[in-house]
Amino acid sequence: MTLPPNDICYRALKTRDPALDGRIFVAVTSTGIYCRPICPARTPKQANVRFYPSAAAAQEAGFRPCLRCRPEISPDAAAWRGTSNTVSRALALISEGLLDGESGVEALAERLGVGERQLRRLFDQHLGAPPIAVAQTRRILFAKQLIQDTQLSMTDIAAASGFGSVRRFNDAFRKLYRRAPSELRRRRSAPLSTTTLKLGYSAPYDWDAIVSFLGTRAIEGVELVENGRYMRTIEIDGAYGSVEVAPGRNHLVATIRFPKVRALLSIVARLRRLFDLDADVASIGAHLSSDAGLAPLVSKRPGLRTPGAWDGFELACRAIFGQQVTVTAARKLAGHLVVRAGVAVSADVTGDARLSKVFPNAAHVVATDLSTMPMPKARIAALIALAQAAKDDPRLLDPVGTFDEALERLLALPGFGPWTAQYWALRALRDSDAFPAADVALLRHPVVAEKGGRPTPKALLARAEAWRPWRAYAAQHLWTSDAEAAGG
């Protein structure tokens, strides 16, 4: 990643500019500490500061995190805002814990379909640190957040943040912070069955738009949007729980109810993708505003994000349900599937009796008779084929190889055409350039309308060429504007 010129970085530090929070980290040579650019501490002399593109790069250079501005709750301590899909997919896999066990960089490179040397070069270019350093920084900063924001035991924190043992956790913490983990513990009363964390982002953030988008698609029993909060049931490796997300001040507040602490880091990573917390909306908005038609939409909603997905298989099912029907009809079809194949859970697990079902995994769908689903037989067959393929190959919907290769795997299944695959890539893969050009709402939007009627998908793709690499965000602006015009 290319940092802004040194003078601009220092000016941002002097003014505590939130626009660069998470994009640069400031290391002070006289103290050996690195900070966020918004740190309230006294501004050091320019001769004593260095700037890094990531927290991992600052720690790799020998600096330790500031205890005052807390880099662990910056918009993303390992944020990357470039255009390399390889780096983006690598960070997603790291956030899921791929490098927390015995797997090394070689295994990560193999999952991505690139050479190990090439992967290291890309990380050095974009993040200023190797993959292992990024993973280690992620672990230690997440542990620091759990220490200060929860009442989990040190043993649970070590497990939740991906350390193999408490001893390794203590050693790493003492080496970086020069004190024992317990010395940073804040005493507070909170139920041990829940974990509440702050999820940072770079403002602005259009919470109303994203919660409205999720709310209109919420599946009864699985999801609930109420009083500006989003809640849903979750399943990871056969364990069940729930998450609740609400807006805070320049952060979201996530309440996680889950029995396995080792899953916390993965849950947080999924929530960051679901709510698109790492988007650089200022850069995206500036690019899209060069289009005269999009400019008013961006100006109206400068903090608009593209909602992600909790689970790739779930979204693939929902994409099938959404073929050639309204959003309401698609949600009802998803509800029918949940009634037939979903797993029942109690209020003791979810914290709310209205959250009573978990969306079925591929094995549950395969084992369920779907012949009476109220939709065309071809679509039922597509759903069954998807579930069987996902059951046979658990990595079918993972970001293995390139985004194009992931789409090819979907397009090889019956019932998956370009619209379904592109919509899935936009939300499940977090592909910022995915664009379902055959979408009815996009084709009818006044911004893209042609004289005499709607453009063809081919014509729309030609128009959208100037929006690259942010076509997904352009689509989200058009969808949001269309829903507002329709009163939904």
- The encoded tokens of residue 46 equal 């320019």
Q: Give the active site residues.
A: 35, 439
- What is the side-by-side strand order in the sheet with 229-236? 194-200, 251-257, 239-247, 229-236, 223-226
| pLDDT at position 293 over 80 | yes
Residues 163 and 95 placed together within one structural domain of the fold: yes
pLDDT at 192: 43
Residue 330 lies in a domain: no
Other CB atoms within a 10 A radius of the CB of residue 458 amount to 9
CB count in 10 Å sphere of residue 252: 21
The pLDDT > 90 percentage for the chain reads 62
Shared domain check, 94 and 39:
no
CB neighbours (10 Å) of residue 130? 18
Q: In the predicted model, is pLDDT for residue 385 greater than 70? A: yes
Mean pLDDT is lowest, of 12-21, 201-210, 238-247, 310-319, for 12-21
Side chain identity, residue 201? Y
Give domain status of residue 240, yes or no: no
Q: Contact, 425 vs 406, CB < 8 A?
A: yes
Alpha-carbon gap, residue 429 to 313, rounded angstroms: 11
3-state secondary structure of 411: helix
What pLDDT score does 101 carry?
67
Whether 214 maps to a domain, the answer reads no
Among 184, 216, 248, give the residue marking a domain's end.
184
The percent of residues above 70 in pLDDT, for the chain, comes to 94
Do 36 and 21 form a contact (C-beta atoms < 8 A)? Answer: yes
Give the Cβ contact number of residue 399 at 10 Å.
Answer: 24
Please give the model's pTM, rounded to 2 decimal places. Answer: 0.83
Query: For 295-309, what is the mean pLDDT?
Result: 96
Q: How many domains does the chain have?
A: 3
Per-residue pLDDT reduced to its tens digit, 434-464: 999 999 999 999 999 876 678 999 999 999 9
Residue at 412 is within a domain: no
Which CATH number characterizes residue 102's domain? Answer: 1.10.10.60
Whether 395 maps to a domain, the answer reads no
Question: Is pLDDT of 191 > 60?
Answer: no
Same-domain status, 104 and 60? no
- Indicate if 94 and 171 belong to the same structural domain: yes
Cβ neighbours of 417 (radius 10 Å): 12
Rounded to whole angstroms, how far apart are CA atoms 265 and 411? 31
Residues 296 and 440 in one domain: yes
- pLDDT the model gives residue 464: 96
Per-residue confidence (pLDDT) for residue 310, from 0 to 100: 96
User: Residues 62, 90: one domain?
Assistant: no
| Residue where a domain terminates, one of 156, 184, 212 | 184
Burial pattern 300-335, b for ≥16 Cβ within 10 A else e, equals ebbbbbbbbbbbbbbbbbbbbbbbeeebeebbbbbb
Average pLDDT over residues 237-247: 95
Q: At 466, which CATH number?
A: 1.10.1670.40
Stretch 146-165: mean pLDDT, rounded? Answer: 89
For 441-467, give the DSSP string.
HHHH-TTT-BTTBPPPHHHHHHHHGGG
Q: Is 194 helix (H, G, I), strand (E, B) or coil?
A: strand
Question: What's the confidence (pLDDT) of residue 190?
Answer: 43
Average pLDDT over residues 473-487: 91
Residue 460: give the domain boundaries. 279-308+430-488
Task: Give the residue-averaged pLDDT of 68-96.
Answer: 73
Across the range 170-194, mean pLDDT stands at 74
- pLDDT over 80 (residue 276): yes
Residue 160: both structure tokens together: 């939740």
> Quick one: average pLDDT of 250-275?
93
Element (H, E) at 223: strand 223-226
> Is residue 77 scored above 50 in pLDDT?
no
What is the C-alpha to C-alpha distance for residues 359 and 57, in angstroms, rounded to an integer? 39
Q: Are strands 25-28 and 49-52 parallel, antiparallel or unpaired?
A: antiparallel
Q: What is the pLDDT of residue 85?
A: 72
Looking up tokens 């805002």 gives 81
In a domain, 23, yes or no: yes
What rounded mean pLDDT belongs to the chain? 90
Does 424 score more than 90 pLDDT?
Answer: yes
Considering the domain architecture, whether residues 98 and 169 belong to the same structural domain is answered as yes
Name the percent of the chain in helix, strand, coil, to the closest 5. 50, 10, 40
